[in-house]
Structure 1
Amino acid sequence: MSITDVAPEPIAFGERLRILRTRRGMSRPVLAGLLGRSPSWLKQVERGEIHTPPLPMILRIAEVLRVRDLSDLTGDQSMPTALFIGPGHPRLPEVRAAVDAFPLARADGQAPDAAHLRARLDRAWAARHSAPNHREVLGSLLPGLIRDAQLAVRQADAAPERRTAQAVLAEVYSLSQFFLAYQPDSALLWRVAERGMVAAQESEDPHALGMVAWLTAEAHRDSGHYDGADAVTMECLRHLGPELPDADDHVRAIAGALQVAAGYTAARRGDTGAAWGWWDKADRIAQSLPDGYYHPVTSFSRAVMGAHAVTFAVELNAGGESVRQAARADARCIPSRPRRARHRIEEARGYQLDGQPDTALATLEKAHENAPETIRYNGYARRIILEETEAKSPERRRRASDLAVKVGVLTA
């Protein structure tokens, strides 16, 4: 629901900002700190005592408050600009139809056995990590996987067989969330997340439970529901705790990923101590995993901890620390193309925070070369590119405009 939906009269920028900040449960000091400004400056903006900030600051406010459409903040309905919602993928209707269809009888065909579904799912995860346009790959595979996994649950007779099928279905729904994220159908994303949680609970499988909890926490955080993200994360960590001493690598990795998720939410809130405390805990798990291990869902591994450190520093608005962490992290060690591109985007955020816009733009160009769909659906990248199209440097404006056309922020 946008602000326009609840008030017929035009609302000034400052009042829109105050409403959006309040909805996010964010105090003035916290928001001001994340913007690098003083609480008194923010108070003056909200009261309309000073002019509306320039575009770069508006874009940063939109980023911090997770404003999906810039018009909700500016009030200019003539030029809506989606930041944290990318374009609808051509295969979205096929995936939606598969999610909404519910096989109920054996007449729908014989379901593949669990081993066959697991092999297909493993291939889908491998394709997701290796493809430059992973949504296209997932969109072609998901309809069949969803239908067959649903059917396997329906046709399972014995309780152990049904729990195994539920674990596979939970993971299929998790894979679906990577396709649906940042597409213009948030209701479908939440429907898939909830079905994944139910399937994981029915499976009683610790890895399946951790996997869907991690994704549900991500969805809550991306929607600005930090309390919801924390509730899911902490509950699952408490559940997994007693099993960790004897757990396999996948379960320990999912626990590490949940600790990163807790730190990410703390960083989003501006809580420096808690954020880095969770990072340290997660890093201890990462270092205990075998060299070369890489979790197929969360990307949790030794290699990705440096990337997480960059993200934490960026979320804490620490430009210099972001750049230092970026210098330590080695993107080449991240085997997943979309995760590597996302790391490049986080590096770009850090460089821009540190006052290095040319390097930030060059880093986004690398991200686009590596995985075009990742940057196309990433709100942070879209914000930086859009901001740089207004740069004073003609050369930077040109490069930003060229990239904006490629990612769909601007038309040619």
Structure 2
Amino acid sequence: MPVDGTPDPHEVEVSFGTRLRLNRTRRGLTREVLGGLVGRSASWVKAVETGRLGTPKLPILLRLVEALRIRDLAELTGEQSVPVELFTGPGHTLLPRVRAAVNALPGSDEGPAPPTEELRARLAGAWRARHSAPNHREVVGRLLPGLFEDAQRAVRQAEDGAARASAQSVLSEVCSLAQFFIAYQPAQSLLWRVAERGMVAAQEAEDPHALGVAAWLLAQAHRDAGDWEAADTVTEDASRHLIRHLPDGNRDVLAVWGSLRFEAGYTAARRGEAGTAWRHWDSARRAAERLPPSYYHPVTSFSRPVLGAHAVTVAVELRGGHEAVRQAERAPAEAIPSRPRRARHRIEQARAHHLAGQPGEAMRVLEAAHEAAPETTRYNGFARRMVLEELESRQARRRERAGGLALRIGLLS
């Protein structure tokens, strides 16, 4: 039993409803919020928690696992141990190499570090490769170990404060690239180490752009862990810091500030705060309109086309199926130049159709997402959950179609 006296659902024979209530309260979610996240009412959540309704069927169980960010299905059911990897994606074959690079200690026999200009050019090439590759984790996973080693050497061998700050800025962006590789994999502790290292490096560099990017990713990590207050704090603190630099006319800083405003809206949408969510999205939209039509931020993907994709996400998180479909129709995926970001948008469009009760259209869009970037679909928990739900359909044709996609993304391999 934990020190606060709360029964541990792993050690005590408790009902499904009690397990649900314990996990919900530990996440700080109200019944209204949890119900909204899984497409049910607060009264439905109360009925399950009090035992008036029994254990839900698999599709709703998967939504609860996703909403509560739990690690194993057994945390809700008490049996049927299924690791969270089923819902968040498998571990990439290159994950051990990246982990080793992150954890490596400085060597005593290292050679001279490359100039920071060379490192920045390599980073720019890595981002371009990520955006153009259908299997972007394969590409990024091969580049990251060398980038980590060389960026850390550049920091250690810096001859003065200016050189060290420049190297720290590069190291922070390498950490940002690593987070894109690690995301949706069973490596949460590694993700947190990289996120925190990126923030420390950005702060030591005193680079507004690097700090904004690090905060943007750190806020996402907090939100996905269920700590919405921490996500808000990081987002607002970083936004206040960056706003002082906006008059300088740096497009990249403006784009990161706009990205942070959307992140604030995303978190508000998760809470079910529609007015706040759309207000923050509108702030991001105004920032995008100050950028050239062809502008595309290499890390956050902030751009005019992506603001349309963000509108779909806000509507989906607010559980507005028909509004999300309407936004999806106004935001063509083809306008997004990045293959993985285009696939992510397709997945959000599929979520919109799924919410609106259009499973056939949801599967069609998921197939388009897989065509654009197979790895994005394979590792995305929302995509995997929708496919798993379709495998439970009573209609043979729908099960067959879902089965084909399940094989392609590795759910049935």
Q: Place the TM-score, normalised by the shorter chain, in its bin.
A: over 0.9
Q: Given the alignment of the two structures, is residue 82 of structure 1 paired with residue 85 of structure 2, yes or no?
A: yes
Contact 1:268 / 1:316 at 8 angstroms: preserved in 2? yes
Q: Give the match for residue 205 of structure 2.
A: 203
| CA distance, structure 1, for counterparts of residue 407 and residue 15 of structure 2 | 31
Of 318, 321, 333, the residue aligned with 1:319 is 321
Q: Name the stretch that deviates more: 244-253 or 147-156.
A: 244-253
Q: Give the match for residue 345 of structure 1.
A: 347
Contact 1:68 / 1:85 at 8 angstroms: preserved in 2? no
Q: Give the match for residue 147 of structure 1.
A: 149
Q: Which runs of 4+ in 1 moved over 6 A?
A: 2-5
User: 5 Å matches for 1:15-26?
Assistant: 15-26=18-29
Contact 1:111 / 1:151 at 8 angstroms: preserved in 2? yes
| CA distance, structure 2, for counterparts of residue 71 and residue 344 of structure 1 | 31
| CA distance, structure 1, for counterparts of residue 223 and residue 126 of structure 2 | 26
Q: Which amino acid is the alignment partner of residue 79 of structure 2?
A: D
| CA distance, structure 1, for counterparts of residue 185 and residue 59 of structure 2 | 24
Alpha-carbon distance, 1:70 to partner: 2.7
Q: Give the match for residue 120 of structure 1.
A: 122
Contact 1:244 / 1:251 at 8 angstroms: preserved in 2? yes
| CA distance, structure 1, for counterparts of residue 345 and residue 34 of structure 2 | 24
Q: Which amino acid is the alignment partner of residue 148 of structure 2?
A: I
Residues 211 and 81 of structure 1: CA distance in aligned 2, closer, same or farther (over 3 Å): closer
Residues 69 and 364 of structure 1: CA distance in aligned 2, closer, same or farther (over 3 Å): farther
User: 5 Å matches for 1:97-176?
Assistant: 97-103=100-106, 105=108, 107-176=109-178
Q: Name the stretch that deviates more: 177-186 or 402-411.
A: 402-411
Q: Given the alignment of the two structures, is residue 295 of structure 1 paired with residue 297 of structure 2, yes or no?
A: yes
- Aligned residue for 1:136, secondary structure, equals helix
Q: Which amino acid is the alignment partner of residue 311 of structure 1?
A: T
- Alpha-carbon displacement from aligned partner over 1:352-375 (angstroms, at most 9, x marks no partner): 100000100111111111111101
Alpha-carbon distance, 1:255 to partner: 0.2
Q: Give the match for residue 237 of structure 2.
A: 235
- Aligned residue for 1:392, secondary structure, equals coil
| CA distance, structure 2, for counterparts of residue 193 and residue 80 of structure 1 | 24
| CA distance, structure 1, for counterparts of residue 72 and residue 9 of structure 2 | 16
Q: Give the match for residue 44 of structure 1.
A: 47
Alpha-carbon distance, 1:44 to partner: 1.1
Cα-Cα RMSD: 1.7
* TM-score (norm. length: structure 1): 0.96
Alpha-carbon distance, 1:5 to partner: 6.6
Structure 1, unaligned runs of 5 or more = none
Contact 1:283 / 1:302 at 8 angstroms: preserved in 2? yes
Alpha-carbon distance, 1:378 to partner: 0.6
| CA distance, structure 1, for counterparts of residue 22 and residue 317 of structure 2 | 22
Alpha-carbon distance, 1:12 to partner: 1.8
| CA distance, structure 1, for counterparts of residue 66 and residue 35 of structure 2 | 13
| CA distance, structure 2, for counterparts of residue 247 and residue 73 of structure 1 | 51
User: 5 Å matches for 1:351-390?
Assistant: 351-390=353-392
Structure 2, unaligned runs of 5 or more = none
- Aligned residue for 2:154, secondary structure, equals helix
Count matched residues: 409
Q: Which amino acid is the alignment partner of residue 38 of structure 2?
A: L
| CA distance, structure 2, for counterparts of residue 87 and residue 67 of structure 1 | 16
In percent, how many aligned pairs have the same letter? 61
| CA distance, structure 2, for counterparts of residue 257 and residue 283 of structure 1 | 10
Contact 2:148 / 2:171 at 8 angstroms: preserved in 1? yes
Q: Name the stretch that deviates more: 31-40 or 43-52.
A: 31-40
Q: Give the match for residue 64 of structure 2.
A: 61
Residues 11 and 401 of structure 1: CA distance in aligned 2, closer, same or farther (over 3 Å): farther
Q: Given the alignment of the two structures, is residue 331 of structure 1 paired with residue 333 of structure 2, yes or no?
A: yes
Q: Name the stretch that deviates more: 278-287 or 217-226.
A: 217-226
Residues 55 and 181 of structure 1: CA distance in aligned 2, closer, same or farther (over 3 Å): same
Alpha-carbon distance, 1:60 to partner: 2.1
Of 19, 32, 35, the residue aligned with 2:35 is 32
* TM-score (norm. length: structure 2): 0.96
Q: Give the match for residue 71 of structure 1.
A: 74
Alpha-carbon distance, 1:4 to partner: 10
